[in-house]
Amino acid sequence: MDYIIEKQRETYVTHECDVLIAGGGVAGIAAALSAARSGARVLLVEKSCIAGGLATSGLVTLYLPLCDGKGRQVSFGICEELLRLSIKHGAEARYPKPWLENGTKEEKEKTRFEVRFNPHFFAIEAEKLLISEGVKILYGTLIVDAVVENKKIKHVIIENKSGRQAVKVRSVVDATGDADVCKLSGEGTKEFSQKNVLANWYYYISNSEVSLKVLGVADIPDDEKTDENNVEYLSNKRFTGLDGDEISQMLCMGHQKMLDEIIKNRKSDKTHTPVAMPSIPQLRMTRRIDGEYTLDATQKHKHFDDSVGLISDWRKRGPVYEIPFRILYGKKVKNLITAGRCISTTDSMWDISRVIPACAVTGEAAGISAAMTDDYKSLDVKLLQAELVGRGVKLKESDC
Ligand SMILES: Cc1cc2nc3c(=O)[nH]c(=O)nc-3n(C[C@H](O)[C@H](O)[C@H](O)COP(=O)(O)OP(=O)(O)OC[C@H]3O[C@@H](n4cnc5c(N)ncnc54)[C@H](O)[C@@H]3O)c2cc1C
């Protein structure tokens, strides 16, 4: 490919922090809160202009279950705090009454501890909480490079309205969803082999009632496809989510599908009008860290000595996974850890670990550890676990 060599330039170090959180989705919010609560100076860098990532800008407003589907809560800590925060001004749907109002075990068995929230309330409340905990937020700021020396990131390069700048860092949490900092710093990464289906969820109003249109269904992992569960997708084309041109093409296709759907509905209902469309691409699985360890969907109910939290399987009742700390960090860059969509899981586990509660669980563990160390592999995981337990997190399935 043709290329040019840019001029060398001085890049001013405009910020310095203990912990840089790359990306302000649910994982980044959880990581920033937990690092700040450990006393770290935290800078959260977010390319869009509100907090929440896919959950807010992406209009993915279903906070999937904190329970195992059999009446037992498994995800705690910031994961539960953020669920409650998301409905501070009321739930849009699926209010989990037995879970929030002292229901019986039988009632909890029938209702999953999940909720539909309003994305705008959640984004603003999360932002207020971050600021109140001392997190400095930089919106409209893209992370474009990482300067690594002696296997540690020393500076993260950002670009925003002020131009290109450097941030001096001690530890970094990659919560970009796409493992951008891993890629930029030379950490090992893997891509999602199945690629993403087209989706474009949006809100519309009809007869004075606002609803969420789930345009583009959830994908079924290749290894779970059967003749019976084959679903019809919006388009046959699939997207890596890692190519600028391809993402733009995906967005334009999604916008057109949305418009087609609205025009179709307006033929019978003149009040049918769109009120909100996603402002970041709706991509589920793109790129992840190639971690020190990789978790697989078959490892349900398996105990790990370095567990940092628990998640359930949103698709089924029963399965519970302990999250080993080793799936959050990689083999090359010592002071880089991941949280959320880009932790180290196999393709089949990825469909379980990518959802909002799991992003909050891994975010909390990543944030606390980032405040504790600049070398994750050397961290005494018992200290991290003690801190998590002190904050109400359950680490073993047998503790629930
Ligand atoms: C169509 C669809 C439907 C889904 N349905 C559900 C559902 O019903 N329930 C559920 O719980 N989950 C669902 N999910 C999954 C879930 O929404 C996301 O996986 C989860 O919210 C991801 O959180 P995250 O913080 O890891 O990543 P993200 O939400 O992707 O946040 C990453 C943040 O990093 C920012 N960022 C990225 N790169 C950079 C960079 N280089 N510099 C600066 N900032 C950067 C982004 O702007 C973004 O705000 C769905 C996902 C999709 C796409």
> Tens of pLDDT along 322-346?
999 999 999 999 999 999 999 999 9
Identify the residue whose C-alpha is closest to ligand 1 atom 48: 53
pLDDT at 225 over 90: no
Q: CA quadruple 124, 128, 130, 131: dihedral positive or negative?
A: positive
pLDDT at 217 over 90: no
For a substitution probing ligand 1, which of 47, 54, 66, 361 has the most ligand atoms within 8 Å of its CB? 54
pLDDT computed for residue 226 by the predictor: 77
Distances (CA, A) of 207 to 95, 129, 211: 23, 35, 11
Residue of 352, 343, 290, 344 lying closest to 321 (CA atoms): 352
The span from the CA of 294 to the CA of 331, in Å, is 12
pLDDT at 28 over 90: yes
314 near 308, Cβ under 8 Å? no
Q: Which residue has the tokens 């037992």?
A: 72
pLDDT band at 172, cuts 50/70/90?
very high
DSSP one-letter code for 342? G
pLDDT at 256 over 80: yes
pLDDT band at 148, cuts 50/70/90?
very high
In Å, how far from its chain's centre is CA 69?
22
CA angle 48, 52, 58 (to 5 degrees): 75
pLDDT averaged over the chain? 96
- How many helices (H) and strands (E) in the chain? 10, 16
Is pLDDT larger for residue 233 or for residue 255? Answer: 255
pLDDT band at 224, cuts 50/70/90?
confident
pLDDT at 142 over 80: yes
* Ligand 1 site, residue 341, Cβ cutoff 6 A: yes
The span from the CA of 345 to the CA of 343, in Å, is 6
For residue 174, give the 3-state DSSP assignment. strand
Identify the residue whose C-alpha is closest to ligand 1 atom 18: 355
pLDDT computed for residue 7 by the predictor: 95
pTM beyond 0.85: the answer is yes
What pairing do the DSSP bridges indicate for beta strands 273-276 and 202-206?
Answer: antiparallel
Mean pLDDT of 25-31: 98
Which parts of 38-135 fold into alpha helices (H)? 78-86, 97-100, 105-110, 119-132
In the chain, domain spans = 13-192+286-399, 202-276
Element (H, E) at 136: strand 136-138
* Ligand 1 site, residue 25, Cβ cutoff 6 A: yes
Tokens of 54: 């896919």
Least confident of 14-18, 186-190, 233-237: 233-237
pLDDT computed for residue 199 by the predictor: 95
DSSP one-letter code for 115? E
pLDDT band at 222, cuts 50/70/90?
confident
The span from the CA of 180 to the CA of 22, in Å, is 9
Beta-carbon contacts of 185 under 8 Å, excluding residues fewer than 6 positions away, are: 146, 148, 153, 172, 333, 336
What atom of ligand 1 comes closest to residue 181's alpha carbon? 41
Length of the chain: 400
Q: Which CATH class is domain 13-192+286-399?
A: alpha beta
Q: Tell me: the pLDDT tens digits for 261-286?
A: 999 999 999 999 999 999 999 999 99
* Ligand 1 site, residue 119, Cβ cutoff 6 A: no
Mean pLDDT of 45-51: 98
* Ligand 1 site, residue 26, Cβ cutoff 6 A: yes
Tokens of 319: 């399965």
Distances (CA, A) of 209 to 34, 205, 216, 274: 37, 5, 22, 12
Reported in sequence order, the residue ranges of the chain that DSSP labels E, i.e. its strands, are 13-22, 42-45, 62-63, 115-116, 136-138, 142-149, 152-160, 163-174, 189-191, 202-206, 209-213, 273-276, 287-289, 307-312, 320-324, 336-338
pLDDT at 227 over 80: no
Q: Tell me: the pLDDT tens digits for 109-129?
A: 999 999 999 999 999 999 999
Can you spell out the DSSP letters for 185-251?
HT--EEE-TT-BPP---EEEEETTEEEEE--SPPP--GGG--STT----S-S--B-S--HHHHHHHH
368 near 387, Cβ under 8 Å? yes
What atom of ligand 1 comes closest to residue 341's alpha carbon? 26
pLDDT computed for residue 143 by the predictor: 98
Tokens of 248: 């733009």
Mean pLDDT of 224-245: 86
pLDDT computed for residue 144 by the predictor: 98
pLDDT at 229 over 90: no
pLDDT at 233 over 90: no
pLDDT computed for residue 304 by the predictor: 98
Q: How many CB atoms lie within 10 A of CB 3?
A: 5
Q: CA quadruple 161, 165, 170, 171: dihedral positive or negative?
A: positive
